[in-house]
Structure 1
């Protein structure tokens, strides 16, 4: 009976020790913080939408392609240095007219549109690029923004700022509760975004800004 009691005592003490350890491990502090960083623009990204009309899809596509080729030739003649050119997928849109013989709507002609995305490291050259497009016609300005060359690096630095801000915030909160801040248990990125400078929007910023919001869980000692 005595031996059984001793075994039971060891078991009870072990459970109590485990419970105390579990309660200590449950002492955590969660902070939600945001970090941001701004950078001067390093490149321009312009997207133009060229279109062509024709009585069939092939004719319309040929006219759109001719306009794009003429535009690219023009910017070359104007010594506009473009670091990257990308063509988007072709989009077809038919126009319809009522056919009296068939008594239904039939396609009468087509409009074909295609976007051209251009990157320029020489930001002031955007004006010369747009002048070249005006001389060609058959286009619409889809977007024009200023950005940075390495968006991931800018986001990473914003994340580091958020992490540092979170540590300072957690230390202040721990001191307020008379506790000591322990190690980081987990870090979760809640949201992140990079805001380019919009050349079309007059209210646009003159810098490129990256913002990251994170959730950090600290252990409290």
Structure 2
């Protein structure tokens, strides 16, 4: 049968890959892009805090920061956070100078900085951890990221939804043109994108954190490009 049918399906949020569009396919076929999307609620979080202190000597600056970090870590552990879920970065020390016009820079002390990343596995406790951090002497909450613990399960669900979407599109198109879908000739899959939030969780300590994270939803998407043969 001397015929050639090419159907390309695009969605508003994705495009068929260059390699798929450039494929030299000489037999009747349909190309589709399947999109899968799963919306779920976060059940855990990771937040980062920072301690910054300035003292006359580097030793005193380091000691001040270490004291705050020790108190913060102890409180978290007392409240049930596993030690493995508390990650403290290395301390940084640098001299601080005062600059005045027409004079040499004057050394006024040394600044010590240290960050701590905390994984929260009980989302209901996140807000109390954040409030406690500021009470422990933490200078700022620099980052909050909501997550879902069983991420791989939802990624697999999104992937299977994308595969089904590609099949359904191909079957619908073939039916509309009076054709039948045969086997799969080519599958193009790219690494699935990381889960995203419906709203930004980049905030400082002045934000209404509790209401924001409780209302948030996580979107997990996946995509697959498929070339289907058409039956002769």
TM-score by length of 1: 0.74
Instruction: Find the aligned partners of 1:35 and 1:91 in 2 and give their Cα distance.
Output: 44
Identify the structure with the greater helix proportion.
Answer: 1
The match for 2:165 is: 165
TM-score by length of 2: 0.70
Cα deviation, 1:116-164, whole Å, max 9, x if unaligned, reads 1111222111122123212212321112233111323322221111111
Instruction: Find the aligned partners of 2:31 and 2:139 in 1 and give their Cα distance.
Output: 52
CA contact (8 A) 2:51 2:113 kept: yes
Instruction: Find the aligned partners of 2:62 and 2:95 in 1 and give their Cα distance.
Output: 12
Bigger radius of gyration, 1 or 2? 1
Q: Give 1:63-82 correspondences, 5 Å limit.
A: 63-77=64-78, 79-82=79-82
RMSD: 3.0
Instruction: Find the aligned partners of 1:201 and 1:30 in 2 and give their Cα distance.
Output: 46
SS of residue paired to 1:216: strand
Identify the structure with the greater strand proportion.
Answer: 1
CA contact (8 A) 1:190 1:215 kept: no
CA contact (8 A) 1:52 1:62 kept: no
How many aligned positions are there?
A: 197
Does 2:219 align with 1:209?
A: yes
Cα distance change of structure 1 residues 152 and 29 upon mapping to structure 2, 3 Å threshold: same
The match for 2:141 is: 141
| Structure 2: runs of 5+ lacking an equivalent | 1-23, 202-207
CA contact (8 A) 2:127 2:210 kept: no
| Structure 1: runs of 5+ lacking an equivalent | 1-22
CA contact (8 A) 1:96 1:108 kept: yes
